[in-house]
Amino acid sequence: MEELLLSRWQFGITTVYHFLFVPLTIGLSLIIAILETIYVRTGNEMYKQQTKFWGKLFLINFAMGVVTGIVQEFHFGMNWSEYSRFMGDIFGAPLALEALTAFYLESIFLGLWIFGWDRIPKVLHAASIWIVALATNLSAFWILVANSFMQNPVGYALRNGRAEMTDFIALITNPYVFYQFPHTVLSGLVTAGFFVLAISAYHLIRKTHVDFFRASFKLGLVWTTISLFLLMGSGHAQTQFIAKAQPMKLAAAEALWETANPAPFAVAALIDEENKTNSFEIKIPAMLSLMANNDPNTPIRGINDIEKEYIAKYGPGNYVPAVTPVFWSFRIMVAAGSAMMLIVLAAGFLWWRGQLEAKPCVLKAVLWSLPLPYIANSTGWFVTEGGRQPWIVVGLQRVEEAVSPSVGAGSIWISLIGFTVVYALLAIAAIYLVQKFVRQGPVDTPVTPTKPAAKGATLWS
Amino acid sequence: MELSVLWFVLVTVLFIGFFFLEGFDYGVGILLPVLGKNDTERRVLINTIGPVWDGNEVWMITAGGAMFAAFPHVYATMFSGFYLALFLMLMALIVRGVAFEFRSKDENPAWRTTWDWLIFFGSAIPALLWGVAVANLIKGVPINANMQYVGTFFDLLSPYTLVGGLAFLLVFIFHGAMYLTLKTTGEMVERARKAAVKAGVPAAVFCLMLVGMTYTNTDLFASTGAGITLWGAVVLFVGAYAAVYAKRYGLGFTLSSLTIAFTTVAFFWGLFPRLMVSSLNPAWSLTITNASSSQYTLQIMTVAALALVPVVLVYQGWVYWTFRKRVTAKDLEY
């Protein structure tokens, strides 16, 4: 069915595109809030420059995140109307709550932050970027509550031909949220940390604005190292949880066709989806059992067994996700994360030895690794969403049942092409602006003690 | 009061907030190339809505979210049925939002002119399409027994709905000009006033046409309250026009705001208890009963909305108060 395929492409493109900008804003808003707080507490003008420099880059990404987010909200109704009917009772609530608790705060206080320099007291100004940062993270929470229901439905009953909410507390305390939310937020912190590191490295290599970027590199290094460790820990915990909650997703991510005890970890595999086997694989014995259950002598169920169980439970059908892309996405995500860890540790080591700037090869490695967090974020989401197929809501609704029956392929083609072209043009504009401001570096803010302070400022500063 | 009735009222309130707030910032966006003769003037115009437009737009996002949560069938039928119209609107809103952020970040005149025109189209298209959408909701669209829209994009365009679209567009231009008389200084105030006076005449004509055609195309006047409210909107608009003519700008803006609020109330009142009218069979219309969420979800959402909406109003109002001063060419550092 052409409409289904097109709608899936559209969802994939708009979601991945949206999520190119969101992780950076999740992390960078917090970094900026910290920088501005340091400025307010110490009065050090350099930190005001830091706030403004990173703030400018943040705003470009934030704008892109906001406008692509509007599409996200609307296309559930546009392309997936039967999903909206079936799930609206549950899914609409977190979306409405996201708007009520997060979007208003974000957008209103961001406006205050952008236009409020010298107009409101310093403490209030710093508070507004904290509010933006917390609201951004709160918004991620609500979206992940909604997404977690699709992965692991809780607190509902099937009534009146749809899923109805029976327990709101269960919805927001869905165990899935408590693995997915930290992992997603931490990936945002890492993305922002790497962004700061890479741009600082750029200037340290060229020896421009050295003091300024030394300070941000240091902050970025501590920030990224800590969040990367936590990110990997949360990823491990999430995988262990998925082994229990979504065994099919784990089996697909590992291309494990037959149940095995102990199960090996396949480092690489040539996957033959047609014959449901791997024609070649490099494996580490018992490693998967150890990773999933903390015990090398435990069984892991394979795709073929789980499929049999699903057929018995849900009737005849194909319940196997596209194994090859899920398998490789998972490996690319892990490899990107590991590469980031190596680079950050190498940079940290040289920093500690005081040799970082003398050995630009590591700084160059940092600079050229900027795509890594983006690759990891996109492939990570692909594992999450691709590994859930053929379900849109696991066990309740299949993707092909969710698509809008009243929307023809022609309409979807128009919107698919339209969005993609506009997204591409906007990406070019955004990249142009980001590289322009990165090259330019911090702009010296003239110290103007002659300018009378805004009314009320003396109360606070 | 039934919770589904309360949510009908709440959705109406969200649309009033949206049309009132985004009404003037759409208007400012449309007037940008007309009133801004040079870059500095255009930056002044943009900065009158710069700190607030994003918060204004959240009213629409919240209205969308509230419809999804409270009336999922309306959300599903309307958004899939109005697919191409919504696609156009989303494209407009995407380029508009980015344009506000990007246009001043580069000196190149071609860069700025491009984004300025995107602000213009990004404001004019949604203004027009919302009018078309509201007119379609009450006029009725082909919805079958399974709540599916069975028409095409062109079924949404009829003389009545196009008049609705143009009436919205023109009133928003007028409303934006009224806002600018309050937020700018010097010669720009006079220019904004002239724009309001000019736009006001066709706006009045289309408003009257809209009211007249509402008699023949819809059953809105079956409800006396809705009918009186709609006529009230026309009277308020005439008042706003007289106020701007007499240079009573504060009064004028208040009256143009009330015009928008009354129009919105009239249309939703005329719809009640339906949210989308089926032109095929009245029994197939989407109503607050057959399109609503479960009682439990409505309860949860009611608690959340009653606790949160007042808080939002307070801090949004406070930010407007913070930026209450008129914008001059002197404070353009951003």
Instruction: Note whether A68 and A100 are same-domain residues.
Output: yes
Mode of pairing for the β-strands spanning A277-284 and A391-393: unpaired
Domain-ending residue, one of A255, A288, A321: A321
Residue of A nearest to B62 (CA): A99
Chain CA centroid to CA B16, Å: 8
Gap between the Cα atoms of A374 and A333, Å rounded:
10
- What is the spatial distance between Cα A141 and Cα A339, in angstroms, rounded to a whole number? 28
Partner-chain contact B297 A84, CB within 8 Å: no
User: At A65, which amino acid appears?
Assistant: G
Q: 3-class SS at B34? A: helix
**Cα gap B182→B40, rounded to integer Å:** 18
Amino acid at A260: A
| Residues A230 and A253 occupy one common structural domain | no
Beta strand pairing call for A277-284 and A265-272: antiparallel
Estimate the crossing angle of helix A210-245 against helix A247-254, to 10 degrees.
Answer: 120
Distance separating the N- and C-terminal Cα atoms of chain A: 64
Nearest CA to A114 among A42, A58, A165?
A58
Residue of A nearest to B73 (CA): A85
pLDDT interval class at B326 (50, 70, 90): confident
- Residue A73 sits in the same domain as residue A181: yes
B290–chain A Cβ distance below 8 A for any pair:
no
- Residue contact B297–A404, C-beta within 8 A: no
CB contact under 8 A, B54 and A436: no
State both tokens at A442: 């911090």
Report yes or no on A116 lying in a domain. yes
Alpha carbon distances (Å) from A250 to A149, A241, A242, A383, A420: 18, 10, 6, 9, 31
Domain contains A104: yes
Q: With contacts defined as CB-CB under 8 Å, which chain A residues touch B150?
A: 406
Cα separation, A273 vs A265, whole angstroms: 18
Of B47, B86, B309, the CB nearest to A74: B86
Chain B nearest-CA distance from A89, in A, is: 5
**Chain B, window 163-182: residues with a beta carbon less than 8 angstroms from a chain A beta carbon:** none
Structural domain contains residue A329 = no
Token pair listed for A358: 């003398």
Q: Angle at the Cα of A366 (from A365 to A369), degrees rounded to 5?
A: 85
Which of A63, A159, A406 comes nearest B149 by C-beta? A406
Nearest in space to B82 (alpha carbons), one of A14, A406, A2, A92: A406
Question: Token digits for B276?
Answer: 């989308």
* pLDDT value at residue A255: 87
Q: Has residue A374 been placed in a domain?
A: no
Which residues does chain A have within 8 Å of residue B334's beta carbon, measured at their own beta carbons?
Answer: 114-115
B66 CB neighbours in chain A (<8 A) are 96, 99
Nearest to B319 among A96, A111, A164 (CB): A111
Question: Chain B closest CA to A104's CA: distance in Å?
Answer: 6
Give the dihedral sign, CA B296/B301/B303/B304: positive
Question: Mean of the pLDDT values across residues B164-192?
Answer: 93
Query: Which helix (H) or strand (E) element contains residue A266?
Result: strand A265-272
Minimum distance, in Å, between the CA of residue A293 and any CA atom of chain B: 38
Domain boundaries, chain B: 3-333
CA distances from B42 to A323, B35, B52, B56, B316 (A): 54, 8, 17, 20, 25
Q: Which of A97, A114, A433 is the closest to B334 by Cβ? A: A114
Owning domain of residue A133 = 2-240+407-440
| C-alpha dist (Å) from residue A438 to A28, A201, A435, B77, B86 | 15, 11, 5, 46, 36
Q: In the beta sheet, which residues pair with residue B149?
A: B143
Q: Are both A277 and A208 inside the same structural domain? A: no
DSSP A397: E
A278: phi then psi, degrees, rounded to nearest 5: -105, 125
Spatial distance between the Cα atoms of B3 and B304, rounded to a whole number of angstroms:
13
The domain total for chain A is 2
Amino acid at B109: P
- Please check whether residue B280 touches A, CB under 8 A: no
* Closest residue in chain B to residue A107, using alpha carbons only: B55
| Per-residue exposure over B85-102, b if at least 16 CB sit within 10 Å of its own CB, e if not | bbbbbbbbbbbbbbbbbb
| DSSP string across B220-265 | GGGSHHHHHHHHHHHHHHHHHHHHHHTT-HHHHHHHHHHHHHHHHH
- Characterise B272 by phi-psi region: left (phi > 0), alpha (psi -120 to 50), beta (else): beta
One domain, residues A79 and A34: yes
Residue of A nearest to B65 (CA): A96
Q: Does residue A381 lie within any of the structural domains?
A: no
A60, B319: Cβ pair inside 8 Å? Answer: no
pLDDT band with cut points at 50, 70 and 90 for residue B212: very high
Q: Please report the number of interchain residue pairs, chain A to chain B, with beta-carbon separation below 8 angstroms.
A: 225
Asked whether the beta carbons of residue B293 and residue A63 sit closer than 8 angstroms, the reply is: no
Residues A51 and A186 in one domain: yes
Structural domain includes residue A456: no
A277 min Cα distance to partner chain B (Å):
41
The partner residue sitting opposite B312, judged by closest CB among A88, A104, A433, is A104
Give the model's pLDDT for residue A460: 32
Question: Is the Cβ pair A406, B87 closer than 8 Å?
Answer: no
Q: Would A454 be classed as within a structural domain?
A: no
> Could you give the CA distance from residue B123 to residue B241 in angstroms, rounded to a whole number?
22
Residues A281, A231, single domain; the answer is: no
The angle formed by the CA atoms of residues B221, B226 and B228, to the nearest 5 degrees, is 90
Q: How far does the CA of residue A250 sit from the closest CA of chain B (Å)?
A: 32
Question: Are residues A281 and A191 part of one domain?
Answer: no
**CB A430 within 8 Å of CB B115:** no
Give contacts of B296 with chain A, Cβ < 8 Å. Answer: 164-166, 168
Q: Does A205 map to a domain?
A: yes
Q: Is B116 on the interface with A (CB under 8 A)?
A: no
**Most A-contacting residue of B18, B58, B311 (CB-CB within 10 A), to test interface:** B58
Q: Which residue of B has its CA nearest to A423?
A: B94
Together in a domain, A221 and A266: no
Inform me whether the C-beta atom of residue B23 falls under 8 Å from chain A C-beta atoms: no
CB-based contact B301 A165, cutoff 8 Å:
no
CB proximity B76 to A under 8 Å: yes
The reported pLDDT for the residue numbered A85 is 93
Kindly give the confidence (pLDDT) of every residue in chain A, 461 residues in length, as a single tens digit, with 9 standing for 90 and above: 788 999 999 999 999 999 999 999 999 999 999 999 999 999 999 999 999 999 999 999 999 999 998 898 898 999 999 999 999 999 999 999 999 999 999 999 999 999 888 889 999 999 999 999 999 999 999 999 999 999 999 999 999 889 999 999 999 999 999 999 999 999 999 999 999 999 999 999 998 998 999 999 999 999 999 999 999 999 999 999 998 888 899 989 888 888 888 888 888 888 888 888 887 888 888 888 888 888 888 888 889 889 999 999 998 888 889 999 999 999 999 999 999 999 999 999 998 988 888 888 899 999 999 999 999 999 999 999 998 988 999 989 999 899 999 888 999 999 999 999 999 999 999 999 999 999 998 986 554 444 444 433 333 32
Report pLDDT for A458: 32
Cβ contact, residue pair B101, A59, below 8 Å: yes
Residue A280: the pLDDT is 85
Instruction: Identify from B71, B297, B302 which residue to disrupt to test chain A contact, counting A C-beta atoms within 10 A and taking the largest count.
Output: B297
